[in-house]
Amino acid sequence: MKKVLIVILLALSVPCFAQHDPYMGIVPAPVSVKKGNGEFKLTAETIILADSPNHKAVRFFTEYLRKAGFSNTVTDLNQLAKGNKEMKNSITLSVNTKSDLPAEGYQLHVYDDHVVLNGKGAGLFYGMQTLIQLLQIKNNNLITIPCTNIKDYPRFGYRGMHLDVSRHFFDVDFVKKYIDVMAMYKLNTFHWHLTDDQGWRIEIKKYPKLTEIGSKRAQTKINRAGIDLELYDNTPYEGFYTQDQIREIVNYATDRFITIVPEIELPGHSMAAVASYPELSCDPKKTYKVAETWGEFKDVYCPTEETFKMMDDILFEVMLLFPGKYIHIGGDECNKTAWKNSDFCKQLIADKNLKDEEGLQSYFIRRIEQYVNSQGHSIIGWDEILEGGLAPNATVMSWRGEAGGIKAAQQNHDVIMTPGSAGMYFDHTQLKSPLEPLSIGGNAPLSKTYSYDPVPAELNKDEQKHIIGVQANLWTEYIPTPAKAEYMLLPRMLALAEVAWSPLANKDFKNFSESRIPHQLPRLDAAGYNYRVPTAIGASDTVLTGSKFNIELTTPVEGATIYYTLDGYNPRETDLKYTAPLQITVPDKMTVDFKTIVITPSGKRSVVTDMKLQNK
């Protein structure tokens, strides 16, 4: 059992640099941290006291301890005498409803003989995530928690992460793993993109062809869109979630205080549905197929009464599966060609006194919103739903920069910021380097994601209140495997978590990237996640001029090794280890290629950096 404990908790050991970190290695940075002296020792005899023993957060924590080798009992705090409510060698978990603790907030007090955690609602769960991050293993396998006093609460109520399963499908186990890492870093909304041109991924009982036909495509484009040479894998592709699987995942997320927002794309990005039911199109006699490549397609839903009836039926089943407030209806990149060529659409525009096809899209969205509202839910749409007039109660997800979000907030609509231009699109590369894997394009390094502030300066104080949150998106046109999905997600998701949770005054990229990220990545390693290994701190692809150079590097992952070469070859394990600062002298009119690579204990590798040292 002790060996199991060590395997699970090994990466939770706080390294030396975290001891000097004002945030004690915690991600996202808490609102307030006051370090104490000493430490609490967690043992098999430690008593868990809870005023709500059946609270989801309490169950989660005791299950975590059980997997780590502990079988600590939970005692109902309400059944203890007043004098016993702060017993020695105890961890007290309390659901706090005090008005001075903000929503989802918590207070954590770690003393040398007991621990007290108070949380408001989900705050108890988030406090446990912080407590877990503070666990450390000493050389004698003793599990301790450093004494501290933390008060913490989120900046935004909506803290979202998106996953596209239409372009490439990810199974139930991976979706749960995705939810797990979100929960570790206090994200609370999972935006699940379930339908698109390339695949319909959710079972709809009333319309079985949506998955019988729409969840399958004959082949998949494997090179970048827009390239003249079309390359395909000539391999059939399919996958969808049954309604039972959906319920299973919803319950799993709920237990981790994560709300799932399903996205059912309309009126565009609908080729999979139109291929299943051609009557949804403006030309039902035409033959359609599920899309095999990426981009924007001309065939979209036609705004007929038959289409609206089918959409209402589909959304009814969707809303039965997802109890959260929001249903995402897409609304983006709707090509209007089919509508412009349709006599029916021309007549409808005239009959409804609509200005043009943009007005027709607004009409479509409003019809859908009326039905969703009638069922007790609200819609979210991408910022294109502003075109032609915004639906009365819609929340806008601003992705084409911030302009749409600013406009919506000025119209008193709630907004979730997710601009691709600000590092919120995790399908973009993390480094401008040919060594990075194929992506959709764009560049979103960790620093760009981290530096984003979702509240635009253009808004006044009342308008700023409509910025209810922030989200990053993982589109999967070029992400066919779980390993690549995790590589693109991590560690950027940790930067998102800090943008969404931490107060602006506590953000410090140097501290985040050079102290807390190196501490967190081994935790992800131990939990079985792939991630992009950052390059050595102090190394980069650049040209330096001079004759003498002092090279000082720091490992970006606790326990990792930096290897380097001076001979022009790419470094690997057989090359020189960096162990101390280097002094390199370059002869006159010579260039030395100082190349580095970081290799973690588990074998993960960074890309190679090439620092050219020139003596002209």
Could you list the active site residues? Answer: 196, 269, 333
| Three-state SS at 322 | coil
Answer for the pair 598, 533: CB distance below 8 angstroms, yes or no. yes
237: which strand partners?
217
Q: Residue 492, Cα to own-chain centre: how many angstroms?
A: 8
Q: What are phi and psi of 576, to 5 degrees?
A: -70, 140
Answer for the pair 397, 328: CB distance below 8 angstroms, yes or no. yes
How far apart (Å, rounded) are the C-alpha atoms in residues 172 and 176? 6
How far apart (Å, rounded) are the C-alpha atoms in residues 202 and 218? 19
Answer for the pair 586, 592: CB distance below 8 angstroms, yes or no. yes
Helix residue ranges per DSSP H, 135-270? 172-184, 209-212, 243-254
548: which strand partners?
585
| Residue-by-residue DSSP string for 87-129 | -TTEEEEEE---TTS-TT-EEEEE-SSEEEEEESTTHHHHHHH
For residue 269, give both structure tokens. 């990005």
Which residues have CB under 8 Å from 61's CB, separation 6+?
A: 48, 93, 128, 131
- Tokens 């209810």: give the residue: 468
299: which strand partners?
none
Answer for the pair 219, 235: CB distance below 8 angstroms, yes or no. yes
For residue 550, give both structure tokens. 């002092």
How far apart (Å, rounded) are the C-alpha atoms in residues 509 and 23? 13
Q: What is the DSSP letter of 242?
A: -
Neighbour-count burial of 552, counting CB atoms closer than 10 A to its CB (0-12 exposed, 13-18 middle, 19+ buried): exposed
Short-list 548, 533, 546, CA closest to 596:
533
Helix residue ranges per DSSP H, 502-615? 509-511, 517-526
Answer for the pair 8, 67: CB distance below 8 angstroms, yes or no. yes
Residue type, 250: V
Short-list 183, 182, 181, 128, CA closest to 152:
128
How far apart (Å, rounded) are the C-alpha atoms in residues 500 and 450? 10
Q: Beta-carbon neighbour count of residue 145 at 10 Å?
A: 21
